[in-house]
Structure 1
């Protein structure tokens, strides 16, 4: 079963964020707190949204966390999938595909024309999964980020 996350799901989602970071060999980079996640998803001005996957017993076994983006070329919003994670014991049960399917349904229902995300180049199981559902790598684009000191310098918080 796939459903919109509730505030009561935040502890499980936060635990899975940490599990995902550990899988991606980046647990030491997780700075977010459970409270920050709760505020982002359910605060006065939510900036992110989440869906969870539950097994037959009602246990949360996966999540998709996303936010809106906008295409100047298409003139409409889309969904940027920040994280998709299914716990190892539940993999192969169709939860990941169901989570992606739900986000695709949200896009179609709201007139959004794009669902996109990033994947680590070494994460072959994820790449194979995404390609199996019809997603295609955008080969001419590279992802760039400004964080930490570089962000502070460019944003004027620290001298250039």
Structure 2
């Protein structure tokens, strides 16, 4: 499937919002309250936070990827953290997710970052099949606690 992947611009707000809300719904999360903040991160040149949309040949938005930089204390360097990856159900299995991951890998490689990292739900079996084609799961377990 021919795709274009391009940075989110102000003109993409409606497509970005639709994909972001669908991503939140997939994880059974209401992220509407966060939308304004995330949009500001994407639009800010001072924030090391990026969002890109994959589109088909007709320009229809099929998927979203959002990523940022993350400090790695054991290496003294930075890596790229792929925080959000989502494709519309009708685009799954057609290479959109792989294209978005490879796009972020190209971003990292071009800037000299040593790796791209991400998390997913343990139960997200279809996505994990794609992710496992890149590398085995790291074996780390995420904990999240209230302050």
- The normalised TM-score by structure 1 is 0.81
Give per-residue Cα distances to partners, 1:34-89, cap 9 Å, x unaligned.
Answer: 43222111136334211110101011110100110021222221111111001111
Larger Rg: 1
1:20 maps to 23
1:74 maps to 75
> In 1, are the aligned partners of 2:50 and 2:66 still within 8 Å (CA)?
yes
The alignment partner of 1:121 has SS state of: coil
- Mean CA deviation greater in 39-48 or 115-124: 39-48
> In 1, are the aligned partners of 2:70 and 2:80 still within 8 Å (CA)?
yes
Distance 2:10 2:58 in 1: 20
Q: Taking structure 1 as reference, are residues 49 and 32 closer, same or farther at Cα in structure 2, changes over 3 Å only?
A: farther
> Displacement of 1:2 after TM fit?
1.2
> In 2, are the aligned partners of 1:63 and 1:86 still within 8 Å (CA)?
yes
CA RMSD of aligned residues (A): 1.7
Distance 2:11 2:34 in 1: 15
Give per-residue Cα distances to partners, 1:91-138, cap 9 Å, x unaligned.
Answer: 222111111101111111111011111110111001111112x13211
The alignment partner of 2:78 has SS state of: strand
1:37 maps to 38
1:50 and 2:51 aligned: yes
Distance 2:33 2:136 in 1: 30
> Displacement of 1:27 after TM fit?
2.9
Report the count of equivalent residues.
144
- Mean CA deviation greater in 31-40 or 59-68: 31-40
1:157 maps to none
> In 2, are the aligned partners of 1:14 and 1:37 still within 8 Å (CA)?
no
1:10 and 2:9 aligned: no
For structure 1, the residue ranges without an aligned partner over 5 or more in a row are 152-160
